[in-house]
């Protein structure tokens, strides 16, 4: 890529901006601290001159003892390579940071999330509203001084709830009604709930779209609400669309209906306690989530798992990918109206893989199988043979079968080809990840671009398609299943004997102070975990870069100008899981 050539000649950041940019010198930290007002300029330079065109993650950290709030940016080159980490530090009391939406549109939802949960205001953000909580909620929950209704103690493990044999429930100690936080001037009668009226009103004021049937017919624009209880939203997701006739003029995703406070709870848990919680992020891909989190903490601890564990990990991650893509294809077909028959085919194969997961971890879905420095236990006897039979015999046949039934089906082609097109530049700008990004012709796969575990010695191709429409996003999933099978064949051939855990298994790991960002190519895209440790048993900051969430940033772009029935297909082709969107 040409950016890379440029990057060799362009000056590094700290040389180009000697005043505004300084390397982050805290122990265990990396990247640069950027002066607040210089941030847009620095970001533009990093994007245009250094080639960091892909802003992956934006998040904030509340450093309460120092009285500072920090915003952390992770940017990458789509040509591959490690991250550029930028940080901005602002006072905790009234944190204001310039918004990067104009430079990297992918910052849009993430900045809204940081505002919602940490109270960081991003000046210049076009739509700085709460995103996970509702408008009118009191407080910014991820700030360290925020306490929730059932607040018990700052950190886990909590004290015994059975002192002297007497059991109590936490509600009894902190009854719901007493501990609710209301603003000081709150009165029950005076409260006007901030309903949806404002949202709908905002949607109705769109200027008439250019061209299309709508204008010729001169119809009124109407605002239609889909969800949060709707069979095609894959959970509790909500879309508000403005229609002109059948054509979409504007679309806004509304989320947070499954916001389960993953990060707040994660910061109270000990490091290992978070492992089962990661299962519940993208609950179709529990093993993949485990993988990402282990990588982040292992980076901090400076350990690597033994060979055999690495192979087992990759095996589980690739099986997860197959499961996820089967599920995604099945439910995309559901959304297209092929109600449940293709999904049943997909679920049947998924069940067989789930049996493998159950055998190794004891649970079908919530595996909790990875540990820092290895996996929880070795493979039980016979599992390798089951996987062998699946990988060599059954799954390839079944994938071909799906391929034969679906790929050239006329209705599928009519509904998918040319629908919801996302050009490659937009895909990068909006921070799309995973199959959505690669179906737009950007061959970016973390397993290749920034290899982790043993992916650098495995032989596979990064699947890529070029049209960026729903059809390509469907077909790329078939491609990826085939590549995963290829990886699995090599893993099964080469898996060595030996230990599966570095050192002794521990409940309470010692994690040195510092920060780490671990990322994996999860089936839905780049899953990143940003973990900050201050040397205590609990993480100081625990943030998840959720691919489903960020992939929704471009939803509006993809849908504009399409028909209302296509929205469902486009959403299905992005393949979201609400546990991860809302966390």
Partner 1 sequence: MTDGLSNPEVPVPEELRGQVAITTLDKVYNWGRRSSVWPMMFGLACCAIEMICTAASRYDLARFGMEVMRPSPRQSDLMIVSGTVTKKMIPQIVRLYNQMPEPKYVLAMGACASGGGPFKEGYNVVSGVDRFVPVDVYVPGCPPTPQALLHGLMKLQQKIDGQSIRSVRWYRKEASESIPVPILGPDLIDPRDIPHIKAHAPAESPEEAQA
Q: Which residue in the block uniquely carries the two structure tokens 């200027």?
A: 207
Residue with Cβ nearer partner 1 (190 or 496): 190
181 touching partner 1, by CB under 8 A: yes
236 touching partner 1, by CB under 8 A: yes
Distance CA 573, CA 473 (A): 6
As a residue count, the chain comes to 583
**Smallest gap from residue 531 Cβ to partner 1 (A):** 19
First CA to last CA across the chain, in angstroms?
A: 35
Cis peptide before 261 (omega within 30 of 0): no
**Smallest gap from residue 157 Cβ to partner 1 (A):** 13
157 touching partner 1, by CB under 8 A: no
Site track 105-144 with partner 1 (rule: CB under 8 A), x = hit? ---------------------------xxx-xxx--x---
**Smallest gap from residue 141 Cβ to partner 1 (A):** 5
**Smallest gap from residue 509 Cβ to partner 1 (A):** 20
Report the DSSP pairing between strands 84-91 and 68-76.
antiparallel
- Which of 168, 186, 466, 507 is in the footprint of partner 1 by CB under 8 A? 186
Reduce the DSSP state of residue 506 to 3 states and report it: coil
SS3 content of the chain, % helix, strand, coil (to 5): 40, 15, 40
- Which of 126, 163, 165, 183 is in the footprint of partner 1 by CB under 8 A? 183
Binding-site size for partner 1 (CB under 8 A) equals 62
Query: Which residues are bridge partners to 88 per DSSP?
Result: 34, 71
Residue 581: which of 259, 273, 338 has the closest Cα?
259
Site track 262-281 with partner 1 (rule: CB under 8 A), x = hit? x-xx--x-------xx--x-
- Containing H/E element for 493? helix 470-494
Which token pair is 155? 């950190």
**Smallest gap from residue 152 Cβ to partner 1 (A):** 7
Residue with Cβ nearer partner 1 (260 or 388): 260
Contact (Cβ atoms closer than 8 angstroms) between residue 478 and residue 399: yes
Instruction: Considering only the stretches 2-10, 199-207, 227-235, 430-438, report the one whose residues sit in contact with partner 1 under the rule CB under 8 A.
Output: 227-235
| 381-420 b/e (C-beta count within 10 Å ≥ 16 → b) | eebeebbeebbeeebbebbeebeeebeebeebeebbeebb
Counting beta carbons within 10 angstroms of the beta carbon of residue 550, is it exposed (0 to 12), middle (13 to 18) or buried (19 or more)? buried
Query: Which residues are bridge partners to 253 per DSSP?
Result: 239
224 touching partner 1, by CB under 8 A: no
386 touching partner 1, by CB under 8 A: no
Contact (Cβ atoms closer than 8 angstroms) between residue 575 and residue 553: no
Contact (Cβ atoms closer than 8 angstroms) between residue 426 and residue 560: no
**Smallest gap from residue 451 Cβ to partner 1 (A):** 30
Report the DSSP pairing between strands 84-91 and 221-226.
unpaired
257 touching partner 1, by CB under 8 A: yes
Question: What are the DSSP calls for 319-368, one per residue?
Answer: HHHHHHHHHHHHHHHHHHT--SHHHHHHHHHHHHHHHHHHHHHS-SS---
Residue with Cβ nearer partner 1 (63 or 146): 146
Instruction: Considering only the stretches 223-231, 468-476, 507-515, 536-544, report the one whose residues sit in contact with partner 1 under the rule CB under 8 A.
Output: 223-231
Site track 187-216 with partner 1 (rule: CB under 8 A), x = hit? xxx-x-xx----------------------
Instruction: Considering only the stretches 175-183, 408-416, 516-524, 562-570, report the one whose residues sit in contact with partner 1 under the rule CB under 8 A.
Output: 175-183
Which residues, numbered 347-366, are part of the site for partner 1 (CB under 8 A)? Answer: 347-348, 351, 364-366
**Smallest gap from residue 368 Cβ to partner 1 (A):** 11
- Which of 260, 448, 560, 563 is in the footprint of partner 1 by CB under 8 A? 260
Which residues, numbered 543-582, are part of the site for partner 1 (CB under 8 A)? Answer: 578-579
217 touching partner 1, by CB under 8 A: no
**Smallest gap from residue 334 Cβ to partner 1 (A):** 10
| DSSP 8-state code for residue 469 | S
Site track 413-452 with partner 1 (rule: CB under 8 A), x = hit? ----------------------------------------
Distance CA 109, CA 128 (A): 9
> Residue numbers of the site for partner 1 (CB under 8 A)?
132-134, 136-138, 141, 146-152, 170-171, 177-184, 186-189, 191, 193-194, 228-231, 235-236, 256-262, 264-265, 268, 276-277, 280, 283-284, 343-344, 347-348, 351, 364-366, 578-579
């Amino acid at each position: 890529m040409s950016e890379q050539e440029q990057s060799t000649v362009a000056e590094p950041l700290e040389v180009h901006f000697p005043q505004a940019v300084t390397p982050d010198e805290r122990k265990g930290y990396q990247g640069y601290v950027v002066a607040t007002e210089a941030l847009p300029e620095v970001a533009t330079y990093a994007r245009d001159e250094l080639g960091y065109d892909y802003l992956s993650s934006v998040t904030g950290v509340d450093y309460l003892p120092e009285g500072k709030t920090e915003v952390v940016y992770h940017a990458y080159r789509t040509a591959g390579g490690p991250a550029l980490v930028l940080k901005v530090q602002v006072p905790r009391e009234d944190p204001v940071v310039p918004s990067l939406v104009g430079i990297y549109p992918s910052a849009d939802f993430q900045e809204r999330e940081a505002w919602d949960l940490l109270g960081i205001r991003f000046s210049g953000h076009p739509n700085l509203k709460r995103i996970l909580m509702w408008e009118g909620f009191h407080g910014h929950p991820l700030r360290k001084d925020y306490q929730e209704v059932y607040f018990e103690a700052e950190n886990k493990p909590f004290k015994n709830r059975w002192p002297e044999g007497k059991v109590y429930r936490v509600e009894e100690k902190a009854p719901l009604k007493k501990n609710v936080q209301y603003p000081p001037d709150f009165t029950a009668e005076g409260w006007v709930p901030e309903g949806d009226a404002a949202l709908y009103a905002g949607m109705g004021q769109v200027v008439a779209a250019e061209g299309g049937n709508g204008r010729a017919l001169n119809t009124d624009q109407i605002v239609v609400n889909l969800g949060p209880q709707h069979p095609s939203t894959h959970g509790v997701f909500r879309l508000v669309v403005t229609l002109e006739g059948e054509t979409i003029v504007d679309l806004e995703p509304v989320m947070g209906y499954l916001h389960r406070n993953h990060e707040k709870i994660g910061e109270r848990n000990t490091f290992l306690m978070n492992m089962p919680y990661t299962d519940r992020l993208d609950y179709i891909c529990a093993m993949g989530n485990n993988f990402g989190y282990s990588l982040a903490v292992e980076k901090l601890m400076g350990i690597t798992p033994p060979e055999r564990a690495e192979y087992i990990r990759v095996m589980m991650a690739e099986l997860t990918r197959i499961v996820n893509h089967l599920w995604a294809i099945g439910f995309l077909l559901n959304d297209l109206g092929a109600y449940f028959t293709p999904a049943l085919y997909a679920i049947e194969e998924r069940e067989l893989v789930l049996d493998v997961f159950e055998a190794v971890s004891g649970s079908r879905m919530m595996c909790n199988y990875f540990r820092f420095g290895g996996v929880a236990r070795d493979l039980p006897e016979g599992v390798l043979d089951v996987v062998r039979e699946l990988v060599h015999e059954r799954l390839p046949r079944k994938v071909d079968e799906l391929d034969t039934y679906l790929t050239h089906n006329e209705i599928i082609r009519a509904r998918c080809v040319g629908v919801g097109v996302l050009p490659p530049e937009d895909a990068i700008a909006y921070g799309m990840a995973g199959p959505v990004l690669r179906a737009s012709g950007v061959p970016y796969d973390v397993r290749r671009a920034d290899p982790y575990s043993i992916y650098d010695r495995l032989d596979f191709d990064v699947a890529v398609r070029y049209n960026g429409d729903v059809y390509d996003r469907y077909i790329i999933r078939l491609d990826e299943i085939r590549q995963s099978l290829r990886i699995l064949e090599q893993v099964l051939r080469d898996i060595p004997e030996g230990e599966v855990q570095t050192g002794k298994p521990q409940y309470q790991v010692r994690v040195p102070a510092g920060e780490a960002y671990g990322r994996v190519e999860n089936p839905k895209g780049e899953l990143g975990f940003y973990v900050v440790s201050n040397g205590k048993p609990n993480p100081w900051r625990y943030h998840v870069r959720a691919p489903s969430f960020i992939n929704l940033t471009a939803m509006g772009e993809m849908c504009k100008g399409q028909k209302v029935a296509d929205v469902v297909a486009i959403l299905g082709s992005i393949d979201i899981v609400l546990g991860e969107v809302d966390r």
